[in-house]
A and B are shown apart, each in its own frame.
Chain A
Amino acid sequence: MTLSATLAELVRDFKANGRIVIVGASLAGLRAAEALRGEGFAGSLTIIGDEPYEPYDRPPLSKQVLKGWVQADHTQLPRFQELDADWRLGLAAVGLDRATRQVRLANGEQVPYDRLLIATGTRARQWPNPAEAALEGVYSIRSRDDAERLQQALMAGPSRVLVIGAGFIGSEVASVCRDLDIPVTVTERGPAPLIGALGGVIGEIAAEMQRDHGVDLRCRVGVSSLEGDAGGHVRRARLSDGTTIEADVVLASLGSVRNVEWLEGSGLAAGFWGVGCDAGGRAFDINGVTTDTVYVAGDVARAPHVLYEYQFLAMEHWDNAVFGAEVAAHNMVNLEPGYRPHLLLPGFWSGQFGVNIKSVGVPPFGDEIVFTQGSIKERRFAAAYGRRGRIVAAVTFDHGKWLQYYAELIERSAPFPPPPPGWDRPDVMKPIPAEFPEPGVPTAIPDVVLTGHDPNERRAEFRPRDRPS
């Protein structure tokens, strides 16, 4: 038999008899499982998830669910493919032994694999003071249960909601509060909302939008402490400027923490920014060598991106989960040169204060911004981000149909500023500093982050802070 025939036989055999384990039963995990079956993988498929629910959709949780339009348990993701999988739900994975190729579950069980997909995503960063975080009325939002609890709290008609952190989640929740006519205060340690993801120029527009809708927005202010009443219910917050806010519902929207603790000791390049992998989803070990058996997809993955000088990108975006999972699934059951790359141009959307915000590319990679279409005053516009004379990202407010044009310019590394439109030109079309915070300035961590060039950047020393017990 020739070598290629032997390899083909190997692939055929693996597709028929292999064992694949997916850790993480959310969007990336589900789409990867479906893609595997779509690729003709007929072997055993195990899906492990720490939540008790079948995969559901998270974007509505901070929007339609909170508003009461959609019940939290009506967010289940549609199924595109028969899976015939062994679902292990409500059971967290707590360890990985790459030598024996086994995943350890919280109940002590060991699940063997031939190929493993890590899709454990992120969790909400909790209010750092555990006693204050335990007060009744203090929420975070990431899961279906979180959304349901917060929704009930909002329905109860609180006297005021305090949102700590004006990233996308915080801003969306503030928007829902105003829609429900609930008084809301938003505190943000940076100079404006959304500043980490979109910079200070757009942040200023977001700030005006919040204030126009009656949000009590306080920037450059942190929350020093939360205080409860005798019954253990939160009542007020002390702010870093010495003032206090009376609030009976508090949302800590402080960004996310990647679920990598269970990988401690596995020798993978796992750390604060996630698990390093190549553009095909193959995990790096701690020395920066690709593994052949372990793959990564979704929020927890970070991979080098050709468009951004091969820097490692971590993307907490819906389509990154879907497409990253599909690519990883394909590569799990194929061999070189059949590997596919995951070269998605990052993109996200948000709905808040009646405006649809969309973005492509990596805005924080840019240092300049230019408004290219529409009207800032009416909050209907497109703007492009540039760096060293090329376009690297774009953002639209109620102008999403133009995004594809900018996406194509970004993919071509087209000159910045882009050519002016033939109509509907903004009053001013001059590039200005985009005003991203300096690294290290405390603010909400943006949804797309550049996490450096090194697949195991300082992570050889990494020790997780919260170890699952």
Chain B
Amino acid sequence: MVEETPWQQALRYANRANPYPFYAELRKTPVARQPDGTYVVSTYREIVALLHDPRVSSDIRKIRQATTTDAEQEAGASEDVISLEPNIITSDPPEHDHDRRLMTRHFYGPQDAPHQISDLEPEIGRVVAGLLDAMRDQTRIDVVDEFAYPLPVTLISKILGVPLKDEPRFHAWIETALNALDFGPEAISEELQSQLEGGRQGVRELKRFIAELLDTYAKQPGPGMLSAMVHDDGREGHMSEGVLLSNALLLLFAGHETTVNLIAHSVLTLLRHPDALQKLRRRPELIVPGVEELLRYESSVQFWHTRSAVEDIEIAGTLIPQGSPIFLVYGSGNRDPERFANPDELDLERPDNQHLGFSQGIHFCFGAPLARLEVQAAVGEFVRRVENPRLVVDPPPYRHNQIFRGPRHVLVDIDGIRD
């Protein structure tokens, strides 16, 4: 058997709770070619350089796998994306810029909706308070199911105008789709293979659900961003139906999945670092830099997989040939000792913390302003109100997905919930 590369080992499910030793190994070769022709970039400096390099495409259709023929490539690609148009994460300028401008207008656009997100602060506070109140009489809580998940899903549904009553359905579709996605050596396992069709079915169902919702809003305008985008009559017009559908899917999915992981990981990390937890209790204002550090420490998006080199790119002594897939490993760049002093230590007051948790460049996280508010409120109130929280299982069980890495459950024993 051929020995696995550090990257392949990092992707194994058994290492999901702690991929960091493998990342450290990986960083010895900042740009590491994998057996399948993918170039994995693990050091901060190189990741940032490629995030700003206009010879890198984010459009998955531009990847040419060295190991597959064109025909296989086309068949694979169309099957994988289930004939969806590119969304803003998987497109390049000028289309990307155009589409993102149209979305920004209805989210936090400086000219059109500057207060849209900050005005949600009271509502976020109410949801957080309600979730904590509901756990008052419990001695054991699951931070994921009872706290980290409900907050973002409630907010994103409201912002988009997706009925919250449909949450059990779209939650299940997203889960099955996520579980079927694997970039590591276990992708060829029987277990994963048996989930592939289910995953595709999940995406199809989600797509149909959103398409119907957009149709409904086309006939009858309603609350939220999706309806507003359907009826956008601004200077740049509105998105084509297919592009709007792709981006609506992206917003619903990314709009809560990543935030769930950040809240769950933040609580987990603080419970593992009692000094930091104490400090945050004493100085609640540290929640603002604290959330940045928590996101650096456990990134909600560990890497991204749709980029490729449009031209030959020479970087860190390696030539990435044109067409090669490029994986930028944010989770590793955030622990790069060349950039962050003592990167494996949690420092809520870390100076110059320009982490990669939201990426950088033109694909900088669209929802970052919302995520920051949600996580600051959730983690800040958890720390303030939950009495004597203790981890029950450490490490907790993780979800299968490698990109959107996060615990499936975080069980915590508590002595009560303060007012």
Which A residues form the contact surface with B (CB < 8 A)?
372-375, 380, 401-402, 404-405, 408, 419-424
CA–CA, A404 to B361, complex, Å? 9
Residues of A within 8 A of B93 (CB): 373-374, 423-424
Residues of A within 8 A of B309 (CB): 422
Residue of B whose beta carbon sits closest to that of A378: B94
B52 pairs with A402, CB closer than 8 A: yes
Chain B, interface size category, equals 20 to 34
Q: A374-B94, A380-B97 are in contact. Are A401 and B362 (CB under 8 A)?
A: yes
CA–CA, A423 to B53, complex, Å? 11
Could you mark each residue 300-321 of chain B with 1 if its beta carbon is under 8 Å from any beta carbon of chain A, else 0?
A: 0000000001110000000000
Contact of A423 among B48, B49, B57 (CB under 8 A): B57
Shortest B58–chain A CB gap in Å is 10
Chain A: interface secondary structure? mixed
Show 12 A/B contacts (Cβ-Cβ < 8 Å), sorted by A.
A375-B94, A380-B94, A401-B361, A402-B362, A405-B52, A405-B53, A408-B49, A419-B55, A422-B62, A423-B57, A423-B92, A424-B94
Could you mark each residue 74-116 of chain B with 1 if its beta carbon is under 8 Å from any beta carbon of chain A, else 0?
A: 0000000000000000001110010000000000000000000
Which of B54, B57, B93 gathers the greatest number of chain A CB atoms within 10 Å? B54
Residues of B within 8 A of A408 (CB): 49, 52
With an 8 A cutoff between CB atoms, is B56 at the interface? Answer: yes
Residue of B whose beta carbon sits closest to that of A405: B52
B310 pairs with A423, CB closer than 8 A: yes
Residue of A whose beta carbon sits closest to that of B94: A424
Residues of B within 8 A of A419 (CB): 55, 311
Residues of B within 8 A of A375 (CB): 94
Shortest B322–chain A CB gap in Å is 9
Could you mark each residue 349-364 of chain B with 1 if its beta carbon is under 8 Å from any beta carbon of chain A, else 0?
A: 0000000000001101
Residue of B whose beta carbon sits closest to that of A373: B54
Shortest B321–chain A CB gap in Å is 13
Residue of A whose beta carbon sits closest to that of B45: A408
CA–CA, A365 to B71, complex, Å? 51
Contact of B52 among A404, A420, A422 (CB under 8 A): A404
Q: A402-B52, A404-B52, A405-B54 are in contact. Are A422 and B92 (CB under 8 A)?
A: yes
Q: A375-B94, A380-B97 are in contact. Are A422 and B310 (CB under 8 A)?
A: yes
Given contacts A374-B94, A404-B48, A405-B49, 12 further A-B contacts (CB under 8 A): A372-B54, A373-B54, A380-B94, A402-B361, A405-B54, A408-B52, A419-B311, A421-B54, A422-B54, A422-B62, A423-B59, A424-B93
CA–CA, A1 to B53, complex, Å? 54
Which of B53, B56, B311, B364 gathers the greatest number of chain A CB atoms within 10 Å? B53
A422 pairs with B57, CB closer than 8 A: yes
CA–CA, A423 to B58, complex, Å? 11
Considering the complex of A and B, which 9 residue pairs feature the smallest CB-CB distances, nearest first? Answer: A422-B310, A421-B54, A405-B52, A424-B93, A423-B92, A404-B52, A422-B55, A401-B362, A424-B94
Residue of B whose beta carbon sits closest to that of A398: B97
Q: Which of B271-288 contact A (CB under 8 A)?
A: none
Residues of A within 8 A of B97 (CB): 380
A402 pairs with B54, CB closer than 8 A: yes
Residues of B within 8 A of A404 (CB): 48, 52, 361
Residue of A whose beta carbon sits closest to that of B53: A405
Residues of A within 8 A of B48 (CB): 404
Residue of B whose beta carbon sits closest to that of A400: B362
A422 pairs with B311, CB closer than 8 A: yes
Shortest B104–chain A CB gap in Å is 13
Shortest A404–chain B CB gap in Å is 5
CA–CA, A16 to B56, complex, Å? 53
Residues of A within 8 A of B310 (CB): 421-423
Residues of A within 8 A of B59 (CB): 423
Residues of A within 8 A of B52 (CB): 401-402, 404-405, 408
Contact of B56 among A372, A374, A422, A424 (CB under 8 A): A422
Residue of B whose beta carbon sits closest to that of A372: B54
CA–CA, A422 to B310, complex, Å? 5
